[in-house]
Amino acid sequence: MTTTSPAALAAPAAPAATLADAAAYAAAVKTATRAAAEYYATGESTLDDDAYDRLARGIAAYEQEHPDEVSPASPTGKVAGGAAVGDVPHTRPMLSLDNVFSAEQLAAWTASVERRIGRTVEAWSVEPKLDGLAIAARYEGGHLTRLVTRGDGTAGEDVSHAMGTVVGLPQRLSEDITLEIRGEVLMTDEQFERANAVRTEHGGAPFANPRNGAAGTLRAKERAYTVEMTFFGYGALALPASGAELAARLGDWPHSRVMEYVGGLGVHTADGTAVAPRTLTTADDIQARIEEIAAARPGLPFGIDGIVIKADSAVDQAAAGSGSRAPRWAIAYKLPAVEKVTTLLGVEWNVGRTGIIAPRAVLEPVEIDGSTVTYATLHNPADMTRRDLRIGDRVTVYKAGDIIPRIEAPVAHLRTGDEQPITFPEVCPQCGSDIDVSEQRWRCVRGRNCRVVASVSYAAGRDQLDIEGLGVTRVVQLVDAGLVDDFADLFTLRREQLLQLDRMGETSTDNLLAAIDTARSRPLSRVFCALGVRGTGRSMSRRIARHFATMEHICAADADALQQVEGIGVEKARTVVAELAELAGLIDRLTAAGVNMSEPGVPVPDARTTEGMGSDTAAASAAETGGDAGPLDGMTVVVTGAMTGPLEKLSRNQMNELIERAGGKSSSSVSKRTALLVAGEGAGSKRDKAEQLGTRIATPDEFAAMVSGFLDTAL
C-alpha cells in the first residue's frame, strides 16, 4: 500500500515556477486564470493541482519582487483564484485557505498566529482537507432550503436542484432550527465508479476524477439520470433568523463543540472516519496527527489533499481575524499530489497466476507523491471501452491505495485527434490459448494451468504454505521436469525424483522434503490462501477459515452462507463459490496428501448447526459447540514496533494469525475501538495515540504470556 512517509511530509514543496520577465508573468497569469476558471466551473483543468500550485507560487513570488507590475487579473489573494462567480450573497464571506507544505512552514505559521493574538493558542483542531467543492447548506426551521457554492467568497451559485442527491445532508434536521452548515461535497470512490458507469451508459464522456464528477454533477440541472454525492460538514454559523440563543452558542462555542452539535443534528462529518478531527495542543501532537492522516490517505474511500489546522477557540479565531482571501486562524497543510495528468503511450497485457489477463498502461513518466510513475493499472476491457481510452490520450493518473497507480479516465477536452484505439488481444498473451470473455475480467481458458509456475510459487510463499527452499527457480525446474502441475503435486514428490534434478544433492533434497512435510500442518487459513481464490487474500482467508472451521464446511457453503463472513458481498460470494467448485479436484488431492484442512483453535461446528450459520462468528460457533472463548475474545488488537522474546521470529502476518486464533481481531490502526496495543521496540505514533485514548498497552513478553496457549501453532 502506498503511504506518505514522515520524510516525505518534511520534504520541501515542489519549487515555484520561475518567471523571468514581465512577458512570462503575463503568460503565467493568463494560464492560471484559465485553469482556475475550468477547475471551478466543471472540475476539469489543463493543469493538475501540483502544477497550478507551483504556477500560483511563482506568480506570487514575481509580484512580491515587482509590486508595480501586479496584474488586476492575478489570482493572488483572491478566493477561487478570482475565477468563480455567483449571484447568491453569502451571509458571511466563504473564504479559501492559505497553504503550507512542510513542518517548518507550519511551525512558522502557528508562531505567527500566536504573535498576532499575543498569547498561546488554547487548542488546535486538526482535520482532513477534503477534495471536493465547498457548499453552504441553509436550513430554515430544520428544513433544507438552499445550497450555494463558494463562488468568489462573497456570493455563490445556487445549486439547490441537487438537494436529495447528496448523502449526509438531510432534508430535515433533528431540531427545528435555522442556520447555515458549511462543508464539502464530493464523490466517494464507489460513487465515482457508479457515476461514470451511468454517465457513459447515457452517452457521456467519463469524468476524469471524483472532483470533476462532483463539480459536473452538482451543477447539472437537466439530466436523464441522477447520481449520488456525499457531504462532509466542517462548520456552521447563524443566519439572521436563527435567534439570539443559537447565534450566541455558535458564536461562542469552540469549533470542535460546534462540529459535535452539527453531527448531532444528523449531518455527516468526518467524525468516525480514520481521519476524524482531533483537538490538540502541542506542535508534536499536531505533526503526529498530520502523519497519521497522511498514512491513512491511501485507504480512504474518498479523496483528501491535505490537513486543515484551525484555532479551536472562538476567542482565538476572533483575535487572529481574517484577510480578504483566507482566515488567519486556519491553514491547509498540503500533501504531495496523488493525481497527475500524463500521456498514455501504450497498453501491455499480462497474465496472472489464476489466468486473469490484466491490462497495464505504459505512461509518459510523471512524478507523483515523490516517485516516478511509468506504469498504471487499468480496469477490464469492457471498462476501458466504456471510458473510451485511446493510445495518445492525456489521462488522469491517481496514486492512492495501489502500489502501481491507476488511470481514472482520459481528459477528453485535451484530445488532438491523433489518438488511436487500444487493440485488445485475440488469444492469451502468455500461452496463445483462447480467451474466455464471458466475464468483465478476461481469462485464459487454461486458467491456472496457463501460469503454473506463478501459481505454485504463490502457494509456497511465506504468507501461504511457507515452504523454505522452494523459490521460483526451483519451481520452474520441477515444472519443466514434469513433476509438478499444481501445488498438490508438491506433497507427492519422492526423494529419488528430486535427486535426479540438477543442483539437488542429498542435503538440499532432504531439506526441501522436510519443509514440504512441515507445510502439511499449516493452518486452514494459510492453505485456503494458497489456493489463490479470486477476491480473497491473507486477511479474508483468515476470516473465512475462522468462520467455517474446516475446508469441508467452506466448500459446502453457498453464496448466502459466505456473505455472513465480514467483507464478503454478493458478487465476491458468487466468485468464491465458483472458484471452489473449479478447485474441487485440487482440494481433494491436498486432503488425500494429508494436508491439514482445519483451523487451530476454532471448534468444528456440529453438523446440525452448519446450515444457516447466519452471522455467527467463530466465537459464537464455539459457544454453540461447548468450546471455550480465547484470551482475546472480542478484542481488537494492534501490533506496532519490533517484536522481541517469544514473538521475535513472527512476521506481521503471523502475529495477525495469532491474534485471531486467540479470539481477537487484528487491526493496523489505533482507534477508540482498539482494546489492546502490543508495542515493541521503536513503537511511535501508534503508542502515542493509544496513550492519548487510554488504550491498554502490552509489551511483546506480556502479550506472549496472554496467548501462550496459542504460540505453538504460530511458531
Question: Could you state, in order of their start, the residue ranges of all structural domains in the chain?
Answer: 6-82, 88-334, 339-426, 447-519, 524-624, 636-714
The fold of 339-426 is OB fold (Dihydrolipoamide Acetyltransferase, E2P) (2.40.50)
- Mean pLDDT for the chain overall: 85
Q: How many whole angstroms separate alpha carbon 516 and alpha carbon 491?
A: 7
**Which residue would you say has higher pLDDT here, 141 or 447?**
141
Using alpha carbons, list the distances in angstroms from residue 387 to 48, 187, 347, 393, 412: 20, 18, 15, 11, 10
Instruction: Report how far residue 185's alpha carbon sits from residue 136's, in angstroms, rounded to the nearest whole number.
Output: 10
How far apart are the C-alpha atoms of 339 and 405, rounded to whole Å? 9
CA 526/CA 361 separation, integer angstroms = 32
Quote the CA–CA distance of 668 and 656 in Å, as a whole number.
10
pLDDT at 626 over 70: no
**Span between the terminal Cα atoms of the chain, in Å:** 27
Q: Which fold has domain 6-82?
A: Helix Hairpins (1.10.287)
Q: Where are the alpha helices (DSSP H) in 43-143?
A: 49-65, 103-117
Of 184-188, 347-351, 496-500, 651-655, minimum mean pLDDT range:
651-655
- What are the residue numbers of the active site? 129
pLDDT tens for 231-251 read: 999 999 999 999 999 999 999
Which has more confidence, 76 or 312? 312
Same topology for domains 447-519 and 524-624, yes or no? Answer: yes
CA 146, CA 21: separation in Å to the nearest integer? 46
Range from 147-151, 454-458, 547-551 carrying the lowest mean pLDDT = 454-458
CATH architecture of 524-624: Orthogonal Bundle (1.10)
Q: Which superfamily does 636-714 belong to?
A: BRCT domain (3.40.50.10190)
DSSP letter assigned to residue 336 = P
How confident is residue 610, by pLDDT bands cut at 50, 70 and 90? very low
What is each CA distance from 217 to 161, 213, 220, 341, in whole angstroms?
Answer: 11, 6, 5, 22
- Please tell me the least confidently modeled range out of 66-70, 502-506, 515-519: 66-70
Residue in 293, 325, 337 with CA at minimum distance from that of residue 97: 325
This prediction has a pTM of: 0.54
Lowest mean pLDDT: which of 100-109, 360-369, 628-637?
Answer: 628-637
> How many residues are listed for the chain in this entry?
715
Percent share of the chain, pLDDT over 90: 46
How much is the pLDDT for 44? 58
CATH of domain 88-334: 3.30.470.30
Question: According to the model, what pLDDT value does residue 186 have?
Answer: 95
Q: What does the block give as the cell for 617?
A: 462468528
The three-class DSSP label of residue 184 is: strand
Pairing between β-strand 435-436 and β-strand 420-421 as defined by DSSP bridges: unpaired
Task: Look up residue 22 and give its three cell numbers.
Answer: 514581465
Top-confidence residue, 53 or 364: 364
Task: Give the per-residue pLDDT at 628.
Answer: 55
Q: Which CATH superfamily hosts domain 447-519?
A: 5' to 3' exonuclease, C-terminal subdomain (1.10.150.20)
